[in-house]
Each structure stands twice: as C-alpha cells, then as structure tokens.
C-alpha cells in the first residue's frame, strides 16, 4: 500500500514538473506539426463538427488561420471540445495551445486567471430566448421564471445581476453544456434560455421549429468573444493576435481569398504589400516567414468572408454584422496598422 502511495506521489510530481518545460509554444507546435485548439462542445456557426466530422465555424476558422500561418496547413489542427467549466484549466495546463471557444474577455480572466485575450472575434451581448406561446415581449416581464443557464460562465453572473437590479426573482436551472441546455429548454423544464445572443441565434436555427421561439430585445451585457492564450509566452500571443488582425485588416483592405494570389505579387497599397510579405519582413518579427498572412487569409478568407460563410445572413443562423462590421462601416472591428 505504502509503495503505491509513493509511486503515485512520484507520478504526480512528474506531471507537475512537466508543466515547467522551457520550450516556447511556437516550437512545440511546429515540432508536433499540429495545433491543438480548444473549442466548444458544439455550437453551430462558431464551432461544431459538420456531417463529415470536420469542425466548422467562426471560432474554428481562427484556429485554422493560425495553423495555416504557423504550419502552412489549415487542416493541421486537432480540436479539443471543452465545457465552459474545463476550458481555462485545459489552457493553463498546456493541454491546448490556444482557446477559441466563444469566451468572454473580462478583467479577472485576463489578469487573475493568467490568460491573455488577444482580440475580439465577435462582439456579443447576453440575450434571452423564450417560447413564443408564453407571450413575453420584454426581459423585464420574466419575474419568477425558470432560467436555463450554463454554469461557470459570465452569463451566470450577468443573469444574477440583471434580476437583482430589476428586483425580480428567478429559478436558475444550471446545465453543463449548450446541448443539455437546449434539451432542457425544448422539454419545457425552463421557460427561458439565456446565453450570448449569437449563440441563441445559432441554437434557435437548429431547433425543429425556429419560428416558435423569440429572442427578447434586451441585451443585458457586453460579451466580447475572442481567442485566448496563456500568460508567459508573448511571442505565441503575438502570433495569434496578429493572425486575427490580419483577417480583419484583410477585409478592410479588400484582400479576399479570391484575389490574394494576384495581390501578393505587389500592389500600389504599401500596407497590403507589408501584410502579404511583398514589402518589408513583418513575418520575421513574430518568428514566421514572410508569407504567413497570405496563408492565414487563404485558409478561409478574410474576416468578412468567414462571417458570411459561418454565421452571416445567408446562413441558417442569420446574424447581421451589427457591431461586428468594420469601423469604416459603423462597426467596432478595427485592426491596428501593419507597419
């Protein structure tokens, strides 16, 4: 017995010691030849496997762009589905290289949890969905309602605040995943499902009768969703941050997956030339080659193309650009200059 305790101790120590290796994340990923990306347990439009088992969505596309930039192969990504409860531990313990899982950027996560949010892929806000037959038209009419809520999320805290501020009571039904929430909501075990408005739209699109459910007009919080990396490896953080910025800048500058081959030969616009490696050597500054951004953008297109293909108005999810339009179009997307 004592012996097994001793070996167990040794094994546990070895695991702890392993976490403190000296290799950078970029080296680890390149040596492995594969990027390990944490995603959701399945949220249509953001990260969900399609009929062939290939992961698709806006969050997934960011992972693929990073893989394309770092490994020259957008498909060299292994996706790890994580619940909202396990996502940060998985990242902190180096189980995944980056987290791209509709995760809200908050102060305490950025600082206390030792994470780095590298940007925003989707400006979201928390909304409420109710069955149309309840006849509810505003979230302020929800006094006494039963609310399905994913535990361990910022929405859980916003929900508590919203009902407290408005002097209403509610009955929380904690669920562990988006899929379980849908099942409980459809079974009528809760009156209301609350989460990010984009996720509500995605969930509703997957319902047998999307028209029978309304998303209430109130948006009760700011939920900037973005990819996350660990503290302590700024080079890796820069790579993910500027890959995302390259996708956003590409839309602003009119670089699309269709014209990128033509543009990378050189254009009149020096910023396009710098991004695509025709001028200067921006890639070397983050430890990559000069064509990193070309590969990232070619992987699935620029931000606008990714948005349209995954969650845009032509898809069943049907989200408008809204806040997620370029700053030139009245939105919040604003990539810092590439120079």
Among 1, 4, 16, 51, binds another protein (CB under 8 A): 16
Question: For residues 294 and 33, what is the distance between their CA atoms, to the nearest angstrom?
Answer: 19
Among 48, 82, 118, 190, binds another protein (CB under 8 A): 190
CA 224 from chain centre, in angstroms, equals 10
Q: Is 290 in the site for another protein (CB under 8 A)?
A: no
x/- site string to another protein, residues 86 to 125, per CB under 8 A? --xx--x---------------xx--xxx-----------
280: left (phi over 0), alpha (psi -120 to 50) or beta: left
Which has the closest alpha carbon to 70: 283, 326, 313, 325? 283
**Residue 30 CB, nearest approach to another protein (Å):** 23
Strand segments (E) across the chain: 35-39, 48-49, 55-56, 77-81, 98-99, 115-117, 122-124, 126-131, 145-150, 170-175, 192-196, 213-215, 223-225, 228-230
- In the numeric block, the tokens 């006494």 are attached to 144
**Residue 101 CB, nearest approach to another protein (Å):** 14
Q: Are 214 and 231 in contact (CB under 8 A)?
A: no
Return the biggest CA–CA distance within the chain: 75
Question: For residues 100 and 60, what is the distance between their CA atoms, to the nearest angstrom?
Answer: 7
Q: Total number of residues binding another protein (CB under 8 A)? A: 51
Q: Which stretch binds another protein (CB under 8 A): 167-175, 218-226, 311-319, 321-329?
A: 167-175
Report 126-165 residues binding another protein (CB under 8 A). Answer: 134, 142-146, 151-152, 156-157, 159-161, 163-164
**Residue 79 CB, nearest approach to another protein (Å):** 21
Report 60-89 residues binding another protein (CB under 8 A). Answer: 84-85, 88-89
C-beta of 11 vs 54, nearer to another protein: 11
Q: Are 57 and 45 in contact (CB under 8 A)?
A: yes
C-beta of 76 vs 113, nearer to another protein: 113
CA dihedral 202, 156, 123, 203 (to 10 degrees): 0
**Residue 190 CB, nearest approach to another protein (Å):** 8
Q: Which stretch binds another protein (CB under 8 A): 16-24, 38-46, 53-61, 253-261?
A: 16-24
CA dihedral 170, 171, 175, 177 (to 10 degrees): -20
**Residue 46 CB, nearest approach to another protein (Å):** 20
**Residue 209 CB, nearest approach to another protein (Å):** 16
Among 175, 201, 229, 335, binds another protein (CB under 8 A): 175
Q: How many CB atoms lie within 10 A of CB 192?
A: 23
**Residue 34 CB, nearest approach to another protein (Å):** 25
CA 187 from chain centre, in angstroms, equals 28
Which has the closest alpha carbon to 338: 281, 267, 288, 256? 281
Among 174, 217, 266, 316, binds another protein (CB under 8 A): 174
C-beta of 213 vs 295, nearer to another protein: 213
List residues binding another protein (CB under 8 A).
2, 5-6, 9-10, 12-13, 16-17, 19-20, 84-85, 88-89, 92, 108-109, 112-114, 134, 142-146, 151-152, 156-157, 159-161, 163-164, 170-176, 184, 187-191, 231-232
């Amino acid at each position: 017995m004592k012996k097994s305790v001793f070996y167990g101790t040794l094994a546990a120590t070895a695991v702890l010691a392993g976490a403190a290796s000296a290799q950078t994340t970029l080296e680890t990923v390149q040596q492995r030849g594969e990027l390990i990306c944490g995603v959701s347990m399945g949220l249509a439009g953001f990260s969900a496997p399609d009929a062939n088992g290939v992961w698709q969505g806006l969050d997934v596309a960011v992972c693929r762009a990073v893989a394309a930039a770092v490994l020259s192969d957008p498909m060299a990504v292994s996706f790890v589905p994580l619940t909202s409860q396990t996502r940060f531990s998985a990242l902190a313990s180096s189980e995944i290289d980056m987290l791209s899982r509709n995760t809200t950027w908050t102060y305490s996560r950025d600082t206390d949890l030792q994470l780095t949010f590298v940007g925003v892929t989707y400006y979201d806000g928390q909304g409420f969905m109710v069955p149309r037959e309840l006849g509810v038209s505003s979230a302020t009419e929800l006094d006494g309602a039963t609310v399905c809520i994913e535990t361990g999320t910022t929405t859980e805290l916003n929900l508590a605040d919203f009902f407290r501020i408005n002097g209403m009571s509610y009955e929380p039904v904690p669920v562990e995943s988006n899929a379980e929430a849908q099942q409980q909501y459809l079974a009528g075990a809760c009156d209301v499902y609350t989460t990010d408005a984009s996720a509500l739209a995605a969930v509703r699109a997957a319902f047998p009768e999307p028209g029978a459910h309304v998303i209430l007009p109130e948006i009760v919080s700011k939920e900037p969703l973005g990819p996350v990396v660990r503290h302590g490896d700024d080079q890796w953080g820069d790579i993910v941050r500027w890959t995302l910025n390259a996708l956003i800048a590409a839309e602003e500058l009119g670089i699309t997956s269709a014209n990128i081959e033509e543009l990378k030969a050189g254009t009149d616009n020096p910023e396009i030339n710098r991004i695509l490696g025709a001028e200067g050597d921006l890639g070397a500054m983050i430890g990559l080659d000069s064509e990193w951004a070309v590969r990232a953008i070619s992987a699935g297109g620029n931000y606008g193309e990714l948005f349209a293909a995954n969650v845009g108005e032509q898809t069943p999810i049907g989200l408008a650009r809204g806040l997620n339009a370029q700053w030139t179009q009245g939105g919040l997307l604003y990539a810092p200059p590439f120079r």
